[in-house]
């Protein structure tokens, strides 16, 4: 019994502390961003900060629950959880509620629940379970495809619900596969795809083709030690050129106009100043206001509840996707950097713990957690500061919303539980 008691408390307190700091600081910013003037009670349920406080309190119930369940449970029931999660995503097509153009919510009473926030956790479990299976060999193409299918299903379902932002997050699993040993060629392929796409859109297909040909043939004739067939670089060049055309086709015909605009702005494709000015007033409005709010914070910020642009609600969606602009305005360079550092520390800590795991399941799951959190962190803050095109996904632990808070909490604390098991085994 006494042994049991000590076992229960051997959690990684550093991770928990970082989590608490993020949730606490996040809530303060939600108070600023969602309050209108005076605050009568922090539990005012008609206000978002009041609701979020309740969500946070419920989060602690959730944490206790997660930590008290036997660690083996998550591995054993991974498939069940995954299946249940996929069903909840499919169910949205029948029962889902449409908010802001995306059919991603179940409405239960006064609350809404977003199953895609939990699907990340379920997918991470399933991926960890499948790869760690003794019969699976990730270097094997068949197994690679099967694993990819595990990710593709939720990603596709979410895309169908018109939530492209959440779909992109599933790209995070690439880091997991890479860590677990998929061939280097995949990394090369990914990099090529990114570079080719950017180059094709930014500089046109012709320039891209010239660059590709020059690089490949230089490599073939001057750098490669073992000369192969001349057909190889010719073939690769052709594939790249075809791909570049494909990118244009995709950009012009498949992407929706607002998505085109976002990319066009990010790559500075639009040169007409009048149209740019008009874009600034419309699709760039959020970003423009968000950057202004952050800039106006200066070094030390305007102070808690003192952000004039926050109070004036100049930045739309400021308590959800654009919550970081509140940090920027009210806490300045110091506060914003503090948040960035907290996230980086949390991610590194999780990576570090993941590498320490003895069980492959725990390691893969931990890696998935770090990857998913990282992608959210990178996309969200990058977007708010205008570094990457607008993609609407929440900042973990910060943004307003019960589903995302609980989703990320479950994701993180299941790993903490798995990790405590590792400690206990020592």
User: What's the min distance (Å) between Cβ of 101 and other proteins?
Assistant: 21
**Out of 351, 410, 411, 416, the residue judged to bind other proteins by CB under 8 A:** 351
The reply on whether position 120 binds other proteins by CB under 8 A is no
Over 276-324, what HEC string results? Answer: HHHHHHCCCHHHHHHHHHHHHCCCCCCCCCCCHHHHCCCCCCCCCCCHH
Q: Which is nearer to other proteins, 111 or 186 (CB)?
A: 186
Does the protein bind other proteins through residue 353 (CB under 8 A)? no
* Interface with other proteins (CB under 8 A), residue from 74, 365, 367, 413: 367
Cα angle 165, 149, 257; round to 5: 30
Pairing of strands 111-113, 97-99: unpaired
Binding mask 318-337 for other proteins (x = CB under 8 A): ----------x---xx--xx
Is 66:417 a contact under the CB 8 Å cutoff? yes
Residue 313 beta carbon to other proteins: minimum distance, rounded to whole angstroms: 5
Cβ(69)–Cβ(417) below 8 Å: yes
215 binds other proteins (CB under 8 A): no
Least Cα distance to 377 among 426, 423, 342 occurs for 342
- Mapped onto helix, strand or coil, the DSSP state of residue 97 is strand
Rounded CA-CA distance 73/399 in Å is 30
Residues 396/376, Cβ–Cβ less than 8 Å: yes
Look up tokens 């360079």; give the residue. Answer: 333
Q: Does 340 bind other proteins (CB under 8 A)?
A: yes
Stretch that binds other proteins, among 69-77, 134-142, 242-250, 302-310 (CB under 8 A): 302-310
**Helix, strand, coil proportions of the chain in percent (round to 5)?**
75, 5, 25
Window of 31-39, 53-61, 147-155, 239-247 that interacts with other proteins by CB under 8 A = 31-39
In the bound state with other proteins, the residue whose beta carbon lies nearer, of 313 and 358, is 313
Cα separation, 58 vs 52, in Å, equals: 10
| Nearest to other proteins of 86, 138 (CB atom) | 138
Q: Which of 8, 270, 282, 298 binds other proteins (CB under 8 A)?
A: 298
- Shortest CB 270 distance to other proteins, Å: 22
Q: Does 382 bind other proteins (CB under 8 A)?
A: yes
385 binds other proteins (CB under 8 A): yes
Do 172 and 160 form a contact (C-beta atoms < 8 A)? no
* Shorter beta-carbon distance to other proteins: residue 37 or 257: 37
Grouping H, G, I as helix, E, B as strand and the rest as coil, residue 102 is: strand
Binding site for other proteins (CB under 8 A): 36-38, 175, 178-179, 181, 187, 289, 291, 294-299, 302, 306, 308-309, 311-316, 328, 332-333, 336-337, 340-341, 343-344, 347-348, 351, 355, 367, 370-371, 374, 377-378, 381-382, 385, 387
């Amino acid at each position: 019994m006494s042994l049991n008691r000590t076992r229960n408390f051997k959690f990684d307190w550093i991770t928990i502390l970082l989590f608490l700091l993020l949730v606490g600081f996040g809530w303060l910013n939600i108070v600023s961003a969602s309050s209108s003037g005076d605050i009568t009670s922090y539990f005012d349920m008609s206000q978002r900060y009041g609701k979020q406080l309740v969500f946070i309190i419920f989060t602690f119930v959730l944490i206790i629950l997660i930590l008290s369940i036997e660690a083996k449970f998550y591995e054993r029931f991974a498939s069940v959880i995954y299946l249940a999660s996929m069903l909840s995503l499919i169910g949205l097509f029948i029962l889902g509620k449409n908010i802001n153009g995306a059919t991603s919510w179940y409405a239960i009473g006064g609350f809404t629940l977003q199953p895609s926030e939990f699907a990340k956790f379920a997918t991470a479990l399933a991926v960890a379970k499948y790869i760690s299976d003794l019969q699976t060999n990730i270097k094997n193409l068949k197994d690679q495809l099967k694993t990819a299918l595990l990710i593709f299903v939720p990603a596709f379902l979410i895309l169908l619900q018109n939530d492209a932002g959440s779909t992109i997050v599933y790209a995070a699993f690439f880091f997991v596969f890479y860590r677990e040993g998929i061939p280097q060629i995949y990394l090369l392929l990914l990099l090529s795809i990114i570079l080719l796409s950017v180059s094709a859109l930014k500089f046109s297909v012709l320039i891209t083709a010239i660059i590709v040909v020059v690089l490949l043939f230089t490599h073939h004739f001057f750098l490669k030690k073992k000369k192969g067939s001349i057909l190889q670089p010719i073939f690769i060049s052709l594939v790249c050129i075809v791909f570049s055309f494909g990118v244009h086709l995709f950009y012009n015909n498949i992407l929706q106009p607002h998505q085109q605009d976002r990319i066009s702005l990010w790559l500075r494709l639009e040169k007409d100043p009048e149209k740019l000015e008009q874009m600034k007033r419309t699709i760039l409005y959020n970003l423009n206001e968000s950057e202004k709010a952050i800039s106006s914070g200066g070094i030390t910020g305007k102070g808690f509840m003192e952000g004039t642009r926050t109070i004036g609600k100049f930045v739309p969606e400021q308590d959800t996707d654009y919550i970081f602009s509140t940090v920027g305005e009210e806490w300045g360079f110091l506060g914003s950097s503090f948040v960035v550092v907290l996230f980086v520390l949390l991610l590194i800590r999780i990576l570090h713990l993941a590498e320490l795991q003895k069980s492959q399941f725990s390691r893969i799951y931990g890696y998935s957690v770090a990857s998913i959190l990282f992608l959210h962190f990178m996309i969200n803050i990058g977007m708010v500061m205008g570094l990457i095109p607008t993609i609407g996904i929440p900042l973990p632990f910060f943004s307003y919303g019960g589903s995302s808070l609980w989703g990320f909490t479950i994701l993180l604390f299941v790993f903490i539980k798995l990790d405590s098991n590792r400690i206990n085994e020592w």
